[in-house]
Amino acid sequence: MSYHYSTLTDSLSFDRRELLRAAGAGAALLGGRLVLGVPAAAGQDAAPEVTTNIDEFMKVPRGPHALPGPFPGRVVKVTDPKALAGDAVDGKVVREMVEQGIRTLTGTSLRKSFRMLFTTDDVVGLKVNPVGAPLIATHPEVVDAVVRWLVDNRLPRRNIVIWDRFEGMLAEAGFTPQRFPGVRIEGLQRMAEEGQSFRDAAGEHISAGSFDREAAYLARGVTGTGVRGYQDDEFYLNQHVFNGEASYFGSLLTKRLTKLVNLAAYKNTGNGISMATKNIGYAAICNTGRLHQPLFFKVCTEVLAAPCIREKLVLNITDGLRGQYDGGPDKNEQFVFPNHALYFATDPFALDMVCHRELVAVRKAKGVTVNEHPRFTEYLHYAEKLGLGVVAPERLRLVEVKA
């Protein structure tokens, strides 16, 4: 292995899921698939200011595992060309990359790293990104390696939950009980296909019970009705469970999981990215379609500030074995490239800043016209102001490990 240390001082000027083109777009379930709307495109005038309950989140005292964790501003990138050959992922190489990344991030052994972040009594949620599978998504081989690390350190397999917001997408991406025996696989919600009702006998969404009505992200005055890009409110509710001003957190996160590992994919959303913070920010809550136009990237900061995320999210790994530099966040084969890298951080905002700047450079090299307006990274600087992460170039440290 070779190591390179640097500070980032350079200024770099779904078939079935929320699909965001440019800096924002809505989606609706129509005929059993998601279709696009266009609430707000990148570069358009900003929407009127919307107030949220971020102040309530920040009043809650921080615990010992609160973001940005023990290594604020530190990001490790592990690269090995042997990890991916065409469509074939080498699980052994990936496992070695994961282990190297964890050791390099923490500066200690795998066993001591585990003890630094977890106990054997924890219930650990592995948040994957199945959007765009199998082309551009969290690879099961990466999850295999994380599960093995946890189990090798005596965390019971029954205490591990692989999760995403939408239940159906997990199996499509290879996250099944057969593939991960003894590990729980859970989605926060289901959607009804064409011709089926998503309402139960009481008239509520079939997944309403999966969300905690006492824990919500509020966007005041943004009601979740008449949302642009949706045929009507029924189509909206099928995907989003509730309307109103509240986006409730999944009960899995508020009541059952004690720690979170965030396993994002490496891809763009317009001139921004859809990686670590968005993988949690738009998946931990319901009623998100209404948030795209007025708040979009800001959600990726404020949802992670909620105690049920902030106090539990102890490790972030961005799966960059493949990358996608345009046409995201859903898969678009035209823009996918082999990247052969995994990225590690306890600080998801530092991780996203590193990956954002890296992907901007890739987009330029590929001839994509890039809009470098500060709006595409403002949410990361906002997180630093809240004390959730470190993104200032002089404080951000990237450690590169190459096979």
Quickly list DSSP for 296-359.
Answer: THHHHHHHHHSHHHHTTEEEEEEEEEEEE-SS-SS--GGGEEEEEEEEEES-HHHHHHHHHHHH
- Answer for the pair 319, 342: CB distance below 8 angstroms, yes or no: yes
- More reliable by pLDDT, 154 or 46: 154
101 has a pLDDT exceeding 90: yes
Give one DSSP letter per residue of 197-243, joined into a string.
Answer: --B-TTSSBTTGGGEEEEEEEEBTT--SSS-TTSSSHHHHHHHHS--
| pLDDT of 76 higher than 90 | yes
Q: 2-13+66-189+250-287+295-402: which CATH number, 1.20.120, 3.90.1720, 3.40.50, 3.40.1010?
A: 3.40.50
Would you say 357 and 376 are in contact if contact means Cβ atoms under 8 Å apart? no
The pLDDT of residue 49:
83
And the tokens for 364? 């330029």
How much is the pLDDT for 305? 98
Mean pLDDT of 53-70: 98
What are the domain boundaries of the chain?
A: 2-13+66-189+250-287+295-402
Tell whether the model's pLDDT for residue 340 goes beyond 80. Answer: yes
Q: What pLDDT is stored for residue 168 in this prediction?
A: 92
Per DSSP, what are the bridge partners of residue 33?
A: 30
**pLDDT at residue 221 in the model:** 95
Separation CA 19–CA 243 (nearest Å): 19
Q: For residue 51, what are its two tokens? A: 């107030």
Assess whether pLDDT exceeds 60 at residue 4.
no
Q: How many helices (H) and strands (E) does the chain have?
A: 12, 16
**What is residue 35's three-state secondary structure?**
strand
Task: For 156-182, write each residue's pLDDT tens digit.
Answer: 999 999 999 999 999 999 999 999 999
DSSP 63-97: -TT-TTTTSTTEEEEEE-GGGEETTEE-HHHHHHH
Contact 235, 210 (CB under 8 A): no
Distance CA 359, CA 236 (A): 32
- pLDDT for 74 equals 98
* Residue 291 scores a pLDDT above 80: yes
Q: How far is CA 248 from CA 35, 208, 291, in A?
A: 24, 10, 13
Q: Which of 52, 17, 72 is nearest to 316 (CA)?
A: 72
pLDDT at 269: 95
Tell me what pLDDT residue 195 has.
75
Contact between 268 and 329 (Cβ < 8 Å): yes
Q: How confident is the model at residue 48 (pLDDT cuts 50, 70, 90)?
A: low
Among 396, 398, 400, 378, which Cα is nearest to 72's?
Answer: 396
**Six token digits for residue 22:** 């440019």
pLDDT at 17 over 90: no
Stronger pLDDT, 7 or 225, i.e. the higher one: 225
Structure tokens at 124: 């650990």
E strands, 244-307, are 246-250, 259-269, 272-273
Residues in a beta bridge with 263: 128, 317
pLDDT (0 to 100) of residue 41: 40
User: Strand 211-218 relative to strand 184-189: parallel, antiparallel, unpaired?
Assistant: unpaired
pLDDT at 121: 98
177: number of Cβ within 10 Å: 12
Average pLDDT (189-209) is 92
State the Rg of the chain over Cα.
Answer: 20
Structure tokens given for 260: 């979170």
* Token pair 């920010």 in the structure block, residue: 281
Q: For 250-270, write each residue's pLDDT tens digit.
A: 999 999 999 999 999 999 999
Q: Which residues on adjacent β-strands are paired with residue 163?
A: 127, 186
Mean of pLDDT values over 34-45 = 36
206, burial (CB in 10 Å: exposed 0-12, middle 13-18, buried 19+): middle
Assign 7 a pLDDT band (cuts: 50, 70, 90).
very low
- With bands split at pLDDT 50, 70 and 90, how would you rate the model's confidence at 386? very high
Looking at every residue in the chain, the average pLDDT score rounds to 89
Partners of residue 259 on adjacent β-strands: 124
Annotate 285-303 with b (16+ C-beta within 10 A) or e (fewer).
Answer: bbbbbbbbbbbbbbbbbbb
